[in-house]
């Protein structure tokens, strides 16, 4: 299993960043490079506790589907999305938001995931997936920051 954390500083309120992070349209836009789209569940707006969404995207030249559920939610401090069906043996993503003391937000993501296929999957995690997933989350977070910091 892989675990990593990212920290993103955003010049916008915690409430703004929290809300944008739950918006499925923003998520889809942030993943345009992989042609991610919604194929089931919540299709527009912000997700809430218990909501599910099924994403379809292309990674490594292959089409993947993943259904995730918001399994924990505490406005505007934290939420968790977990895979309920999809390519990972485990996917658990904790999103945390805290004021930075200057009117902005410190957004911290903690991601834990495990590939299927036992030792082969563990090898792929170590060699490829760890870096790939970190870059994917960092790219998404840059998009969240760009949207949050844009003039109204």
| Cα–Cα distance measured from residue 128 to residue 130, given in angstroms and rounded to the nearest whole number | 6
The number of folded domains in the chain is: 1
pLDDT for 122: 81
Q: Report residue 14's pLDDT band, with 50, 70 and 90 as the boundaries.
A: very high
Asked if residue 20 has pLDDT above 90, the reply is: yes
**CA dist 89 → 17, 25, 111, 112 (Å):** 29, 26, 13, 11
Distant-in-sequence contacts of 77-86, Cβ < 8 A, 24+ apart? 77/14, 77/18, 79/18, 79/21, 79/22, 79/49, 81/47, 84/52, 85/54
| Cα–Cα distance measured from residue 89 to residue 113, given in angstroms and rounded to the nearest whole number | 7
pLDDT for 116: 87
What are 44-87's pLDDT values in tens digits? 999 999 999 999 999 988 899 999 999 999 999 999 999 999 99
| Size of the chain in residues | 152
CATH of the domain at 58: 3.30.530.20
Structural domain of 30: 2-149
- In sequence order, the 6+-apart residues with CB closer than 8 A to the CB of 41 are 51, 52, 53, 54, 67
Q: Which two tokens stand for residue 87?
A: 């390519």
What are 97-148's pLDDT values in tens digits? 999 999 999 999 999 999 888 887 788 788 889 999 999 999 999 999 999 9
- In sequence order, the 6+-apart residues with CB closer than 8 A to the CB of 146 are none
pLDDT for 45: 97
- In sequence order, the 6+-apart residues with CB closer than 8 A to the CB of 131 are none
Asked if residue 9 has pLDDT above 90, the reply is: yes
What residue spans of the chain are helical by DSSP H? Answer: 14-21, 24-30, 118-124, 130-149
| Cα–Cα distance measured from residue 31 to residue 136, given in angstroms and rounded to the nearest whole number | 8
């Amino acid at each position: 299993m892989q675990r990593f954390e990212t920290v993103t500083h955003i010049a916008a309120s915690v409430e703004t960043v929290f809300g944008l992070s739950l918006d499925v349209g923003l998520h889809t836009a942030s993943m345009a490079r992989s042609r991610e789209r919604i194929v089931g569940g919540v299709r527009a707006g912000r997700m809430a506790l218990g909501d599910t969404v099924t994403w379809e995207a292309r990674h490594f030249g292959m089409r993947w589907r993943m259904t995730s559920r918001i399994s924990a939610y505490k406005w505007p401090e934290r939420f968790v999305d977990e895979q309920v069906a999809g390519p990972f043996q485990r996917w658990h993503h904790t999103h945390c938001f805290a004021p930075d003391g200057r009117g902005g937000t410190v957004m911290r993501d903690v991601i834990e995931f495990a590939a299927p296929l036992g030792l082969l999957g563990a090898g792929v995690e170590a060699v490829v997936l760890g870096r790939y997933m970190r870059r994917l989350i960092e790219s998404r977070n840059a998009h969240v920051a760009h949207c949050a910091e844009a003039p109204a």
